[in-house]
Amino acid sequence: MTHKRGLATLGPVMQLAWLPSDFDAALRHWTQTMGVGPFFLMENIRLEEMRYRGAPTDAMFSLALAYWGDVQIELIRPENDAPSIYNGEYAVRDRLHHVCVLVDDIAEAYAACADQGAEILVEGKVGEAGRVIYADPGGGPGSVIEVLQTQPGTAELFGMIKQAGIGWDGSEPLRKLG
């Protein structure tokens, strides 16, 4: 009998993501109570070739990223109600929404998801060379895994955000990118 590879073989979790009911209140909580920050805001993102459960979608969202040590914290705000994991049954609010792992080749992620019977919820293109999938490995809403095939510049962007958090003095808790 052949052993099916588990999704953990893709790599370590590098991000914890939330879909807060109140984005501004969540930012205050993370920056003031938790002391995590600064957050870097990317607004009105649309993934190229984005599909939700196999069908094209024009979902748009904004996100804010910061680091708590080596773990990236992501807060997401849907900007429209197009079909996505940020609306409907997968839009779990105010608790862990998904985790993320980084890969060099998205084909590995598709194969691991197929091995485990995980449903591909979202897939799309990120920039010129990046790809992303969000999959439900069977736990339903709140147990989604994002797998991101990075593109040139991703490591530098994440590194800059992480560096900004080292010794952060609480100033400018939200900084806009792009």
DSSP single-letter state for residue 89 = G
In a domain, 153, yes or no: yes
Q: 108 with 94: CB under 8 angstroms?
A: no
How many domains is the chain built from? 1
In a domain, 1, yes or no: no
Q: Write down the pLDDT at residue 3.
A: 59
pLDDT (tens place) for every residue of the chain, 178 residues total:
555 778 999 999 999 999 999 999 999 999 999 999 999 999 999 999 999 999 999 999 999 999 999 999 999 999 999 999 999 999 999 999 999 999 999 999 999 999 999 999 999 999 889 999 999 999 999 999 999 999 999 999 999 999 999 999 999 999 999 7
**CATH number for the domain including 122?**
3.10.180.10
Counting other chains too, the contacts that 124-130 makes at CB distance below 8 Å and 24 or more residues apart are: 124/47, 124/48, 124/49, 124/50, 124/51, 125/47, 125/48, 125/49, 125/50, 126/47, 126/48, 126/151, 127/151, 127/153, 128/152, 130/154
Distances (CA, A) of 15 to 74, 96, 118, 145: 7, 11, 20, 10
Strands (E) across the chain are located at: 15-18, 39-45, 48-52, 55-56, 61-68, 71-78, 96-103, 119-126, 130-136, 144-149, 174-176
Q: Write down the pLDDT at residue 2.
A: 56
In a domain, 173, yes or no: no
Compute φ and ψ for 66, nearest 5 degrees.
-150, 175
In a domain, 4, yes or no: no
Looking up tokens 């790809």, which residue turns up? Answer: 131
pTM attached to this predicted model? 0.95
Q: Write down the pLDDT at residue 4.
A: 72
In a domain, 5, yes or no: no
DSSP single-letter state for residue 30 = I
In a domain, 3, yes or no: no
Q: Domain range spanning residue 135?
A: 10-167
In a domain, 178, yes or no: no
